[in-house]
């Protein structure tokens, strides 16, 4: 049985996804960025993403309500 990229591509992607955050933090620590700054950056990114999701949901509901009224 041959092991090719097609059959194991998902496993490789999962492995890369699991290792990239620690490697990023380790690389940044070596480059001189303290861990507390990375926590702050990650928190800001997470907050912006959550706001975007909430705004998208609000706009979707608003469009649905507007389209329902016009009929």
Q: Where are the domains of the chain?
A: 1-33, 34-71
What integer pLDDT is reported at residue 46 of this predicted model? 95
Q: Is the pLDDT of residue 8 over 60?
A: yes
User: Are the C-beta atoms of residues 29 and 35 closer than 8 Å to each other?
Assistant: yes
Q: In the structure encoding, which two tokens stand for residue 26, read together?
A: 């380790």
Mean pLDDT of all residues in the chain? 80
* Lowest mean pLDDT segment, chosen from 5-14, 34-43, 56-65: 5-14
H or E stretch at 69: helix 35-69
The first and second tokens of residue 20, run together, are: 């990239």
35-69 vs 5-31: helix crossing angle, rounded to 10: 120
5-14, 16-25, 36-45, 46-55 — which is least confidently predicted? Answer: 5-14
* Residue 34 in tokens: 């303290």
Q: What average pLDDT does the segment 35-60 reach?
A: 92
């Amino acid at each position: 049985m041959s092991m090719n990229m097609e059959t194991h591509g998902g496993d490789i992607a999962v492995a890369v996804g699991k290792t990239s955050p620690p490697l990023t933090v380790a690389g940044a620590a070596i480059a001189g960025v303290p861990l507390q700054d990375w926590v702050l950056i990650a928190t800001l990114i997470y907050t912006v993403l959550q706001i975007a999701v909430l705004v998208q949901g609000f706009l979707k509901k608003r469009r649905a309500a507007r389209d329902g009224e016009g009929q």
